[in-house]
Structure 1
Amino acid sequence: MAANHQNWGAESLWQDLEPLLPGLSIEVLARADSTNSVLLERVRSEQHSAGERGQERAGERGGFGRRAHDMQPCLLVAEHQTAGRGRMGRIWHAEAGASLTFSLALPLALADWAGLSLAVGCAMAEALEPAPARPPRLQLKWPNDLWLDGRKLGGILIETVSAGDQRIAVIGVGLNIRPQKPGNESQFMSGYASLDELDTTLTAPEVLRRVARPLILAVTGFGQGGFGAWQQRYEARDLLRGRPLMAAGIEGVGAGVTVQGELLMDVQGQRQTVSAGEVSVRLQVSEPPAC
C-alpha cells in the first residue's frame, strides 16, 4: 500500500466491514488514475494470467491464478485521483483532501441489476443526512448523481466484468468534501456543492466510515428485493420529480421512477419511461456542466 497522508483508520474499518464481506481487503493509495480502472484491470489481468497457465493449473489455484485475492472483495481508496471517470466517459477531478474517491469490487450475482445505482445513491444519502429536513438537502438526480442544496455533490459509476462463471461489480463513488484549493477553480466551480456545507467537521476518512457499511449492505442485499425495496426511499429524495427536464431531446416533467428504476416523464399528457444508459438527463434550469 502506498504511503498516504490522512488517517484512514483502515484496520478498524476492515474489522467493521469484513464480517459483511468475508475476504474483504482495504487499500489506500496516495495516487491513482481511477479506482474503478485499477480494480477492473486487476480482474482482467487475473483472467489473462489464468488462461496462460491453463485451466487445470488455474483450477488448482482457486480458478484465477497468481493473485486469487483479486477475485475477492476489495475497497480501494485513492487520496488523489487523476483521471476519474463518470457516466458516459465524463471526467471527475479529485484533489487530495478535497474529495473522497473510492471503489468497491465484489462478486455479485443478480438476476436483475436495474436500479442498483439508485439504491446505492439512496443508501449513501441516508448515511450522510440521516434525519433530513423536508425537502431534504441531499437529493438524488437520476440515474447516479447526489446533489446538495440544488448543486451537484458527487456521483456513482457501476461497471461489471465477467470472471469465469462470476461477474465482478465495481462500484465507484466520488464525493466533494470541500472546495479545491485556489488555482483549481476550473476543476471545481461554484456550481458544485461540497459536504462541508452540510457538516464542517467532515473529512474524507470520516465520510468513508459513514457510507461504507450502508453501501455494502445495500449492494449485498439488493438481490433480495431489487429496486422495489428502495423505490419509496428514493422518491423521498428525488430531485427530478415535478421539475421540467429534458431526456434524449424530449422535454417533459419528472414523474418519479418505476419499480425497475426507470425514469418517468410526463410528456404532453402522456407518461413515458427512460431507461438508464440510454440518455443524459439535463434539468431545464441553470446547472453546471458535468464534472
Structure 2
Amino acid sequence: MMKDRAKPFIRTNSGISNSFLFYNVDFVVYVEGGNSYTYDQVKLGHYDEDTEDILFWKNVFSIYRDIKKYKFKSVGSKTTLKQLVVDIEGGVISNTIVAMDRDFDKIDISTTNRLIFYTHGYSWENDVWNINTIYIVIQQLSADFLTINNQILNAYTKFLKDITFSVYADSLLAHKSKAFFPRKGHRRLIIESKKSFPEINVNEVEKLFNLKKLNKCKVYNHGLRNQIDIERFCYSHLLGDYCISMVAYVLKQYCSLKSVPIDLVIRCAINQIKQTIINSPDKISYYNSQFT
C-alpha cells in the first residue's frame, strides 16, 4: 500500500542532504511511482512508500550495492526528480540519489553523474518483462510445468510485431514532446478474451495512426534509422499490462485458477530482475556501467 509520509520536515536543501541521518542510512533514493509531488512538497518531506518503482530499484540496488543502506522514496513526478538532479549535480544537496525511467531520453552512461540512475529500457516494466519472465511467473504461480510455451511465445511474438510501427511512431513524436500511445486509456489497445491469448487491437492502432496523421514511411524510416528495440522502448504500461494479461489468461485457462491477483503477478516479475539482467548481455553491460 502506498503511504504519503510527511516526516521529517525538511524545508531546505540542507535538510534533504541531512535526511539520511534521520533514517540511519547511507543515501536517500528518490524514484518515480505513487502520487506526484512538487519539489517544494518533497522538501516538506512528502513521499510515498511501497510502490512498484521502489520494489524495482530496491532489487536492482541489492544486486550491485548490497553493502550500503538506503531509504527509498517515491515522489511520482519526473519533473521533480530532474530538479533534484540539478541540485545534486550542482553540489547543492548531497547524500542523495535519483533513479528514474529513461523514457526516450538520450542517456550517455559514461558521462552521467554517479548518483543518477536510469532504467535500461523505457521504464522498469521494459527491464522486467520479456518472454522468459512470463514463463517463470506462470510457473511460480501455478506450481506446474506447462507444455504450451510455444503458444505463449507465438502470441508474444505477434504482440511485438503488431506494435512495431506504433513504437516507432511513439519515438518519433517524443522528439516533439508528443506521444502516439494514449497515456490514459491505453488498455483499449489490448483485446482480452476467455477463449484466446490477449492480442493488440490493430483496428484501434490504425485509428490512432489516422488521428495523428502520420506518414508510415517516415515512421518506418525513423525506427530503422534509430534502431529502436520494440521490447525495450514500448510504452511501459502497455507492455506491462499485456504481459500481465498473458499471465492471467494462462493461469485461468490452463491452471484452473479462478482469480489472479495483479499485485502478486507484478511482484513475482520484479523479483526476477536479477536473473533478467544476468541473462541479457545488453542489460548487464548497461547496469554494470552505471554502478561501477
Verify same fold: TM over 0.5: no
Structure-2-length-normalised TM-score: 0.33
Larger proportion of strand: 1
Between Structure 1 and Structure 2, which shows a larger proportion of helix residues?
2
TM-score (norm. length: structure 1): 0.33
